């Protein structure tokens, strides 16, 4: 059993400069559609209940679990991206 703390989802984009050889000026900018990302955090009773396995529709980017001093639950956070089918 766990308690959901935070849950966000949305399409992420990034814009990265592409530098020419021997110059500090950006020649072009690379736009990336990084897909639909979901970040969820929660309190869980068992550290093993945070799953970092990739399913058919979603790939796990990162998953972490940390103990909370003086508390009988663990804080877990998972970030995943929806795979294009």
Q: Could you state, in order of their start, the residue ranges of all structural domains in the chain?
A: 2-82
- Based on DSSP, count helices (H) and strands (E) in the chain, helices before strands: 0, 4
pTM value is: 0.60
Q: What is the pLDDT of residues 8-54, one digit of tens each?
A: 899 988 999 999 888 888 899 999 888 899 998 888 877 776 666 67
Q: Are 31 and 15 in contact (CB under 8 A)?
A: yes
DSSP 8-state secondary structure symbol assigned to residue 84: P
The span from the CA of 1 to the CA of 85, in Å, is 32
Q: How many residues does the chain have?
A: 85
């Amino acid at each position: 059993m766990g308690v959901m703390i935070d849950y966000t989802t949305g399409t992420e984009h990034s814009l990265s400069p592409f530098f020419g050889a021997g110059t500090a000026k950006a020649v072009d900018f690379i736009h990336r559609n990084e897909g639909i990302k979901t970040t969820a955090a929660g309190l869980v009773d068992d550290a093993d209940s945070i799953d970092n396995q990739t399913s058919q529709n979603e790939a796990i980017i990162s998953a972490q679990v940390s103990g909370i001093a003086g508390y009988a639950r663990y804080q877990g956070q998972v970030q995943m991206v929806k795979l294009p089918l």
